[in-house]
């Protein structure tokens, strides 16, 4: 008799991901269809991403741990993107992507191919809450990415990004998992801008 494997994330959360992404306008601003599976995102500060909760830039400055129910034999792409740059009212730099990792084996992001190193939230002062969206795509095997590799010491090449276009370019389909939080300016943002050469 086979033992049933308990899913990483309870199915009762699945519809809440769809609801939160629709409520916060991630559909249609970032993706066409909200994923049903949740990504668990935890920061070293102790902060957790929970369906649009408000976190401060200080809490999310370090690389988070992310988990989702993954096929260990498959490869995935993980993205964190901000559609509200420089503000939700005037998103002329939509999207500013904060993190992009491809060829992730299973859910082991540390073993993936870093296309853009992690940069925490840096919403400009007076621009209100920004949405920070995490998405996971299942790849059709290992991919060769021709993207320019971006470090976390410059903001160049991050604005004007579209995860929708990126997914289309690499035939990733719709995201299979997601989550989001919101953040606005705090005292950490000027420190981040110095790091990025701003």
Residue 1 lies in a domain: no
**Mean pLDDT on 122-146:** 97
CA atoms 44, 25, 157, 109: torsion sign: positive
Mean pLDDT of 92-103: 97
pLDDT tops 70 at residue 51? yes
From CA 35, how far away is CA 178, in angstroms rounded? 6
Tokens of 68: 């989702």
Q: Tell me the residue range of the domain where 95 lies.
A: 11-195
pLDDT of 85: 95
For 52, 56, 68, 102, the CA distances from 138, given in Å and listed in that order, are 23, 30, 11, 10
Q: Output the pLDDT for position 198.
A: 61
Confidence band (pLDDT; 50, 70, 90) for 16? confident
- What's the CATH code of the domain at 140? 3.90.280.10
DSSP of 27-64, one letter per residue?
HHHT-SS--SEEPEEE-TTS-B--TTEE--TTTT-SPP
11 pLDDT exceeds 90? no
Domain count, the chain: 1
pTM for this predicted structure: 0.92
Q: Is residue 6 part of a domain?
A: no
Kindly report, residue by residue over 75-84, the tens digit of the pLDDT: 999 999 999 9
Mean pLDDT (the chain, rounded): 93
Q: Which two tokens mark 182?
A: 């919101």
The per-residue pLDDT for 166 is 98
* Residue, of 198 and 159, whose pLDDT is higher: 159
């Amino acid at each position: 008799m086979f033992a049933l494997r308990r899913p990483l994330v309870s199915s009762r959360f699945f519809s809440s991901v769809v609801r939160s992404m629709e409520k916060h306008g991630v559909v249609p601003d970032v993706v066409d269809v909200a994923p049903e599976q949740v990504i668990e995102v935890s920061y070293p500060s102790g902060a957790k991403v929970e369906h649009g909760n408000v976190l401060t830039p200080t809490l999310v400055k370090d690389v988070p741990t992310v988990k989702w129910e993954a096929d260990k034999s498959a490869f995935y792409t993980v993205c964190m993107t901000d559609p509200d740059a420089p503000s939700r009212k005037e998103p002329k730099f939509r999207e500013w992507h904060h993190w992009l990792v491809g060829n992730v084996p299973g859910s082991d992001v540390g073993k993936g191919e870093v296309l853009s190193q992690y940069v925490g939230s840096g919403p400009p002062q007076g621009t209100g809450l920004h949405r920070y969206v995490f998405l996971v795509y299942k790849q059709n095997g290992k991919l060769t990415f021709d993207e320019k590799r971006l470090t976390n010491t410059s903001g160049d090449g991050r604005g004007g990004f579209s995860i929708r276009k990126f997914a289309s370019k690499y035939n990733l389909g719709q995201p299979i998992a997601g989550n989001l939080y919101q953040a606005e300016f705090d005292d950490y943002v000027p420190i981040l801008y110095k790091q990025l050469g701003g």
